[in-house]
């Protein structure tokens, strides 16, 4: 809590003045904004102290003096006026802060011991009072009032101002502590929000939110974020309230940002017009009216990947706390930016992969189509030759033609598989949905299995529920799925049997198709790969095909909203279970 004014000064004024001081003190103490405190003070003393100019300074713990409030009738007399940087000699303000004592100048035309005398004299002010603002034995600021009349201030005015300045110091500290508390809560809120956004992967939204939050905390005119790109350039990725003139200036003035990235440390410039000559100039920014700059690097894994820049139109002394907070914010932002950049890179790679897959599908479709046409013609001529349309055919020739024809048909199936896969991946293969009896599909499959049974010597066993329902789905694709599974069963079972079971699963409104063989089985490490393209279950088996059968089965079932499960044991065989809903929901 702020302490009340001491009684060490005897104001020596009337009771009216004492009441005025008390009322003004309480009024200022009730304000939580510095600007409100200062305006209350300025209006409160107006009826008791004659003044034309009022100036209040803040003194920080490092004894740095900054002007924070000014009332003046002179248009060029502003807080941002470069004359007030006091580089021509000691000022009255510096003296009272150092000596911790008030100073009264009765006539600037007669006495000129400080730079203040000459400066105020040029502006037409003849007398002034400078008073240190002391709080708990620490100088927290100074009060300076000036008048155009000479000898406007004496002992009586000094005592009054000394008393009321104690209240002013208390009110300043109360407002400052409230501001710090409010600022701390704002900062923690921003850091918490940014931390919670670490998994937000939209980089542009993340950076814009960061810039907006920093602008709110610093009450800055502009805040921007730059990030390095692949060409080591530093484009502006987010900015608050920037117009085209400012964006152009930022593109031209990159010296400060390069300095920050190279040094990997913050850069504070309180006044661009009077900055350290060793630092890069910002002439383009100056032309847009910018006066002060604070920039910190964004460091990710010890690498400077960008900067956060704060710009103000007025000269501004950024505090160590300001710098520390912005560095803390940049550190949190670096994590979120790193995640977002990784996501952007992953998204780019996925797009490249998708494009490569599309090119592959287009190439395969083109090649398959170009191969299928002449191969179909070859098979047609083989049929004609085998039928004797081109003359008599001996038994040996007929046997040779049959072998050629079988291999040609096997090759045609491979080409059709490649073509179908490319169409599926391109999303252009149509669904022909109809309602049909399951028995119709099974009848076609029985014809296929009878031929396989006769050629292979394997036994075929059918187990079919008698009450199978109608299905509403793509009959041709269902038949092709089951054909592929049955062909594989015969291919990989050198002896034994192939068992086909069809079950009506009323509880799940689906039909279950099971193809079980007594073949060599599939190794556990190969099970996850069997539905991948161009992968054969057992590459040591002398078989035809390019390993697309099960891939097409899986993709067709995805289109039909079905499912496939596989169980297998080496040396004992494999079991494939297909589940298909009664009705395909489109």
DSSP string, 250-305: HHH--HHHHHHHHHTS-EEES-GGG--TTSPP-HHHHHTT--EEEEEEEEETTEEE
Q: Does residue 559 fall inside a structural domain?
A: yes
CATH value at residue 167:
3.30.450.40
Q: Does residue 83 fall inside a structural domain?
A: yes
The SS3 call for residue 7 is: coil
Instruction: Assess whether 422 and 440 both reside in one domain.
Output: no
pLDDT at 87 over 70: no
Calculate mean pLDDT across residues 399-413: 72
CATH value at residue 353:
1.10.287
Instruction: Assess whether 95 and 228 both reside in one domain.
Output: no
Percent of the chain past pLDDT 70, that is, above it, reads: 83
d(CA 57, CA 93): 8
Percent of the chain past pLDDT 90, that is, above it, reads: 21
Instruction: Assess whether 303 and 360 both reside in one domain.
Output: no
Q: Does residue 1 fall inside a structural domain?
A: no
pLDDT on residue 535: 55
d(CA 552, CA 52): 91
Of 386, 404, 426, the one marking the end of a domain is: 426
- Report the alpha-carbon angle 269-273-274, nearest 5: 70
d(CA 6, CA 400): 122
Of 366, 400, 426, the one marking the end of a domain is: 426
Higher-pLDDT residue of 419, 93:
93
Higher-pLDDT residue of 69, 452:
69
Of 401, 426, 451, the one marking the end of a domain is: 426
Q: Residue 282 class from Cβ within 10 Å (0-12 exposed, 13-18 middle, 19+ buried)?
A: buried
Instruction: Assess whether 440 and 317 both reside in one domain.
Output: no
Q: Does residue 10 fall inside a structural domain?
A: no
Higher-pLDDT residue of 304, 283:
304
Instruction: Assess whether 403 and 527 both reside in one domain.
Output: no
**Domain coverage including residue 358:** 349-426
Instruction: Assess whether 300 and 379 both reside in one domain.
Output: no
pLDDT on residue 377: 75
- Report the alpha-carbon angle 275-278-280, nearest 5: 75
Calculate mean pLDDT across residues 216-226: 87
Structurally, how many domains does the chain consist of? 4
As a whole number, the mean pLDDT across the chain is 81
Q: What is the pLDDT of residues 340-375, one digit of tens each?
A: 777 777 777 778 777 776 766 666 666 666 666 676
What secondary structure letter does DSSP report for 470?
E
Instruction: Assess whether 30 and 100 both reside in one domain.
Output: yes
CATH value at residue 524:
3.30.565.10
Instruction: Assess whether 438 and 359 both reside in one domain.
Output: no
């Amino acid at each position: 809590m702020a302490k009340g004014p001491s009684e060490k000064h005897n104001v020596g004024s009337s009771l009216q003045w004492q009441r005025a001081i008390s009322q003004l003190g309480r009024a200022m103490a009730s304000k939580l904004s510095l600007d409100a405190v200062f305006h209350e003070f300025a209006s409160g003393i107006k009826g008791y102290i004659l003044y034309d100019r009022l100036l209040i300074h803040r003194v920080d713990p490092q004894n740095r003096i900054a002007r924070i409030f000014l009332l003046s009738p002179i248009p060029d007399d502003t807080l941002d006026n470069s004359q007030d940087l006091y580089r021509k000699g000691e000022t009255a303000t510096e003296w009272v802060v150092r000596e911790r004592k008030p100073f009264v100048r009765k006539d600037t035309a007669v006495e000129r011991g400080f730079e203040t005398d000459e400066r105020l004299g040029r502006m037409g002010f003849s007398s002034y009072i400078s008073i240190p603002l002391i709080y708990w034995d620490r100088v927290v600021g100074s009060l300076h009032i000036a008048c155009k009349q000479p000898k406007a201030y004496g002992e009586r005015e000094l005592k009054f101002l000394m008393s009321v300045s104690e209240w002013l110091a208390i009110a300043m500290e109360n407002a400052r502590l409230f501001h710090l508390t409010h600022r701390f809560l704002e900062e923690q809120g921003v850091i918490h929000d940014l931390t919670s956004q670490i998994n937000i992967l939209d980089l542009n939204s993340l950076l814009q939110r960061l810039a907006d939050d920093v602008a709110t905390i610093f009450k800055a005119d502009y805040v921007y974020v730059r990030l390095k790109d692949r060409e080591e350039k530093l484009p502006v990725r987010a900015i608050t309230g920037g117009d085209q003139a400012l964006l152009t200036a930022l593109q031209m003035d990159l010296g400060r940002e390069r300095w920050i990235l190279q040094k990997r440390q913050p850069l504070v410039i309180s006044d661009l017009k009077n900055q350290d000559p060793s630092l890069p100039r910002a002439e383009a920014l100056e032309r847009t009216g910018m006066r002060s700059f604070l920039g910190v690097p964004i460091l990710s894994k010890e690498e400077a990947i960008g900067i956060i820049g704060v710009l103000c139109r007025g000269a501004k002394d950024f505090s160590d706390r300001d710098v520390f907070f912005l560095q803390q914010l940049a550190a949190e932002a670096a994590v979120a930016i790193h995640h977002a950049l990784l996501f952007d890179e992953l998204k780019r790679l996925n797009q490249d992969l998708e494009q490569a897959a599309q090119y592959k599908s287009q190439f395969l479709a083109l090649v398959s189509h170009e191969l299928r046409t002449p191969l179909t013609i070859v098979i047609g001529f083989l049929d004609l030759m085998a039928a004797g349309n081109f003359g008599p055919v001996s038994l040996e020739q007929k046997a040779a033609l049959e072998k050629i024809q079988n291999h040609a048909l096997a090759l045609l199936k491979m080409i059709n598989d490649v073509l179908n896969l490319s169409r599926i991946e391109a999303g252009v293969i149509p669904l022909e949905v109809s309602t049909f009896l399951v028995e119709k599909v099974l009848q076609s499959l029985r014809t296929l299995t009878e031929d396989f049974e006769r050629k292979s010597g394997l036994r075929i066993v059918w187990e079919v529920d008698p009450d199978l329902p109608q299905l509403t789905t793509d009959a041709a694709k269902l038949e092709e799925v089951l054909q592929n599974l049955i062909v594989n069963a015969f291919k990989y079972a050198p002896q034994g049997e192939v068992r086909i079971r069809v079950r009506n699963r009323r509880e799940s409104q689906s039909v279950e198709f099971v193809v079980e063989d007594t073949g060599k089985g599939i190794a556990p490490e190969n099970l996850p790969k069997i539905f991948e393209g161009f992968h054969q279950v057992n590459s040591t088996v002398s078989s035809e095909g390019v390993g697309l059968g099960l891939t097409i089965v899986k993709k067709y079932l995805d289109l039909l909203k079905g499912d496939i499960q596989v169980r297998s044991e080496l040396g004992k065989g494999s079991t494939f279970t297909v589940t298909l809903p009664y009705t395909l929901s489109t």
